Amino acid sequence: MVKELLRSHSSVRIYDGQPISKETIEELIATAQMAATSHFVQAYSVIWVTDADKKEKLGLLSGNPRQYETSGGAFVFCVDFKRLQMAGKLEGVDIVADSAENVLVGVADVSLFAQNFVIAAESMGYGICYIGGVRNNTSEISELFNLPDYVFPLFGLTIGVPARRNEVKPRLPVSAVLHENEYNVEKYEELLPAYNETMEMYYNSRSSNRKIDNWTKQMADFLIEQRRPHIKEFLATKGFNWK
């Protein structure tokens, strides 16, 4: 069942290296394209990285070389308003791409598209992993793949036959993310310590990379300072000044 498939997801970081056929990749892309898209703009493009040198460079630039090395398919998912600009030219108009709203639209479109891709891939027995590390070196990755203005990399994704599967990581309880009629801040004082206990048990009992840790400490360490401060300036070089 679809629900069982979705609830079994875990990121795969080591694959068996078996390449995935072009026919399968195109089938997955076609399935992904049926995702919802804001006003039908379809503001996404995907770079399928088959060149060995580029794949190696992408792994290094994103900080995930081993994962790219063993994957059966490597991709960069991009927000794309260039195609929409070309559509406007066919109609004799200059579209307005440079707005905060369009950045949000593009991010949502790519994310929905990618998740369709992922679900389809996992339904076929493949494993996947999203790689936000492509945003570590956005300018270099854009140059590597010749991304034009109004196109920027949002995240990478690897796919392949898993060499090993990880246990499913416990998510926040439903009560922590579901609010009825109004937002309730007070409930976190009770829910978050309880979730910390769940995560401590998970980290201490999983089959590999055991450690002593919890969710609130991870988030505090992760968000104590601004991350990837270059992103705003990079987006401006691509034509997005957040107007």
Distance CA(27)–CA(205), nearest Å, equals 38
pTM of the model: 0.95
Edge-first strand order for the sheet with 44-48 is: 44-48, 73-80, 151-160, 127-131
Cβ neighbours of residue 148 closer than 8 Å, sequence gap 6 or more:
82
pLDDT reported for residue 135: 98
Distance CA(160)–CA(166), nearest Å, equals 14
Query: Which DSSP category does 106 fall into?
Result: H
Handedness of CA 216, 217, 219, 224 (dihedral sign): positive
Contact 18, 72 (CB under 8 A): yes
Q: Which residues of the chain have pLDDT under 50?
A: none
- The neighbour count for residue 55, using CB atoms within 10 Å, is 18
Whole-angstrom CA distances from 79 to 112, 115, 142, 153, 211 are 12, 14, 12, 6, 36
pLDDT reported for residue 162: 96
pLDDT reported for residue 206: 85
Query: Using one digit for the tens of pLDDT, what is the confidence trace for 181-234?
Result: 999 999 999 999 999 999 999 999 988 888 889 999 999 999 999 999 999 999
pLDDT reported for residue 4: 96
For the chain, helix (H) and strand (E) counts, in that order, are 11, 4
Burial 172-203 (b: 16+ CB within 10 A, else e): eeeebeeeeeeeeeeeeeebbeebbeebbebb
Going along the chain from its start, the domains and CATH numbers come out as 2-167+226-237 (3.40.109.10), 174-215 (no CATH)
